[in-house]
Amino acid sequence: MPDSNTNKRSVTQLIQDYLPQIVLVPTVVAMAMYVVVFSLWTLWLSVSTSTLLPDPSFGGFGEYVALWKSKRWTVAYQNLFIFGSLYVLGALFIGTLLAILIDQRVRFEAVWRTIFLYPLAISFIVTGTVWRWIFHPQTGVELALHDMGWLSAQFNWITDRDLALYVVVITGIWHASGFAMALILAGLRAVDGDTIKAAQIDGASMARTYRRVILPSIWPIFLAVAVVLLQFAIKTYDLVVALTQGGPGVSTTVPAIVVYDLMFQRGQIAQGSAAAVMILVALAVVLIPYALYMSYRRRGEENTHG
């Protein structure tokens, strides 16, 4: 009897000892499935002979070739570069400007901050829908200008093949610049006051102090915000769907739209998977160098401190 009792005790003891590992099991199993199995699965589908239905037999890399030969895809990838760079630069620029304005000891700071940041809480579907109404000639700015008597006024960017992508950029910046502002403002507030004072005593103007002293000292924040926003840009899907549906023509198509279209509209599962893998590659191109750089920097800091 006492024997089984100690046995029982040791089992509960064992559970106690490994509790931290045990509670992690569901998450680790889920993430292993999600991150590893799902990725390999899609990777495999991209080199399979799948069409309308998944088919596990190996079909080679032909779908990647076909993808890169299709005009739609090259336009989508090109759009990603134009949209991504303008979106990130625009959000950083406006975010910095707003952060500097709010940093001038303005009254009602919380109110301004809330106004600039609220778009972050709003879905891309809502954002895209409203801005489509504003930009569309039949419902928005152009009609309003005609109404006011300026009959020759034209504002049809959203229906213009060459300009529609910039509508996506403007809308994207509306959504993201508050996020940039919040992080940059926090950075400005963390800058050492003595450094700024020294610059002022030296007779530097406000603009010069910001340009030469304050902003350069918080550049890691700019880098972090840029990486986060680039990630958003690469994953962009809903905004374009609600705003332009990729059109007119294919002028605002982005890679995520091509993936959806190939997988669920055209029944080309293998090529859709190949396109999904290319999105992953784009993310890796942004994130891996950043991660390496961050760990390099952290190690450097540890060395100088130790």
Partner 1 sequence: MAEVDTHIEFDPLSTGSLRRRITSKAIIYGLLVLFSIYYLAPLAILLMNSMRPLEDIVRTGFIDIPSSLSSQYWVEAWGTFCIGGTCEGVSRFFMNSLLMAVPATIISTVLGLINGYALSKWRFKGADILFGLITLGVFLPAQMTLLPWAFVLGSIGLSNTISGLVLIHTIQGLSFTTLFCRNYFLAVPDDLIKAARIDGAGFWRIFRRIILPLSPPIIIVTVIWQFTGIWNEFLFGTVFTSGANQPITSALVAFSGSGTGVRAYNVEAAAVIMSALPPLVIYVVGGKYFVRGLTQGAVK
Find the binder of partner 1 among 74, 114, 154, 295 (CB under 8 A): 114
Of 96, 121, 99, residue with least CA distance to 109: 99
For residues 271 and 63, the answer to whether their CB atoms sit within 8 Å is: yes
Distance CA 48, CA 54 (A): 8
Question: CA torsion angle for 251, 256, 260, 263 (degrees, to 10)?
Answer: 110
Using CB atoms within 10 Å of the CB of residue 12, give its burial: 0 to 12 exposed, 13 to 18 middle, 19+ buried: exposed
Q: Which range, of 55-63, 72-80, 157-165, 194-202, touches partner 1 by CB under 8 A?
A: 194-202
141 binds partner 1 (CB under 8 A): yes
Residues 10, 39, 78, 295: which binds partner 1 (CB under 8 A)?
Answer: 39
Taking the complex as a whole, the smallest distance from the CB of residue 151 to partner 1 amounts, in Å, to 14
Take residue 107 and report the two structure tokens written for it.
């009254």
Query: Could you say which residues in the range 60-79 bind partner 1, by CB under 8 A?
Result: none
Does 101 interact with partner 1 (rule: CB under 8 A)?
Answer: yes
Nearer to partner 1, 4 or 21 (CB): 21
Is the Cβ of residue 161 or residue 189 nearer to partner 1 in the bound state? 189
| Cα angle 241, 246, 250; round to 5 | 170
| Piece in contact with partner 1 (CB under 8 A), picked from 65-73, 79-87, 278-286, 295-303 | 278-286
Query: Packing angle between helix 269-305 and helix 38-46, nearest 10 degrees?
Result: 130
Helix H or strand E encompassing 147: helix 141-147
Between residues 209 and 252, which has the closer beta carbon with respect to partner 1?
A: 209
Q: Are 156 and 168 in contact (CB under 8 A)?
A: no
Task: Write the interaction track for partner 1 spanning residues 253-272; mark x where CB under 8 A is met and - where it is not.
Answer: ---x--xx--xx----x--x
Minimum CB separation of residue 3 from partner 1 in Å reads 25
Site string for partner 1, 150-189 (x = CB under 8 A): ------------------------x---x---xx-xxx--
Instruction: State which residue, 119 or 247, has the beta carbon closest to partner 1.
Output: 119
Residue 104 Cα to chain centre, angstroms? 29
Q: Is 110 in the site for partner 1 (CB under 8 A)?
A: yes
